[in-house]
Structure 1
Amino acid sequence: CRVTEETKKELFNKFKDKQIRVSIKPLFIVAESYQEKLVMNPATEFSNILNISLEDANQEKAKDILNNLIFTYNNNAIIDKKAIADKTSTFIDERIKEISTNLTSVDQTAQDFKTTKGVTDIQGEANIALNIGAANRQELENAKTQLNIASGMKDYVSSETGYEVLPSNVGLSDPTIANTT
């Protein structure tokens, strides 16, 4: 809320010849006072929606305080979601690198074993290679999918300008990450 020069003049003239009492209190005392006047109740018994009210002599002031409280809460939620998306993306990137390293190591170990043992069963080798390759590709695809989902959530949170409801978790398998959405 912005006070214009005209509003200032009107207020000054309104209280020009009157005595005004000003009370200055520490910020934490004022915050505690408003906290005691703040009432929050669920809209219904099992609702995620809250009814919020603030008891104050000045209705406009109470409305401004509630609007700023909600604005700050929403901004903090967006910041938290962005941080979670960033950490999730980093975690998945690191996990993909680790899986790739492990897959390379497993392939090399299998190759070394075959070389030292002189394995010549072509059909058996082909089946083993196919099974290992399929499992490795599946694990790599799962990790890529998780990365794409996390990246999409990060992009969505980063592009949010309003205070719309965020989409629920769709496909993130890490329970810690899934519970934050």
Structure 2
Amino acid sequence: MPERTPSGKLLGEKEFSARKREVLGDFTVFDVLPLVIQSPEDRNAGSLVPRRSVLPIYPASWTSGPSENQIPWLVLFQSMEERLNQMMLILARLSSGEKVRLPVPVKVEISSSGIVFPSDFSYPENEALHLLIDLPVFPPMEMDVLARVSACAQSPEGTRTDVLVAFDPLPSGLRDQLLQYIVVRQREEIRQGQKDRPVATSRRIG
């Protein structure tokens, strides 16, 4: 996360909820995603290695793709090779004394148009941010997007700040992949909800 002092106005709960619906829409999911936040200036200065150092492998139920026997292993191998090369770059930069910012898993609410994430400080409205978001899809994908702060509010726990940002226009391919992830994640939530739902039983009285 960027090093900075607290700033920016905090909205009330109702006003923040209304703004969130305006930015995110109704088609959203909650998840825990690895996230890096930095300024566009930091991005241009190359202060961050924009890749995770560990290749995530996700359950097949999280994808709507092929079965295990049909998985394109070449794609997986290339993805692993890319991550290993990036890991070597990270280690080289660390050994030379450079600062490298790596993703931190946080609970978010995300849609195809924006995201809400927790922070230890607030941001001024309309401030530009550079976000790196790892999506649990196959093959693993990292979103590299620019966004602008729409609103901030105190978290329900009262200890942190919820930050709402709107994505800059996404390339159609990236937006389609994000939408596919949201659809699959919503299916998972529905299935999990059905499993957790108590089974109705009849009881004879008397």
Q: Larger % of strand: which?
A: 2
Report TM bin, short chain.
Answer: under 0.3
Q: TM-score, normalised by structure 2?
A: 0.23
| More relative contact order, 1 or 2 (CA 8 Å, 6+ apart) | 2
Q: Larger % of helix: which?
A: 1
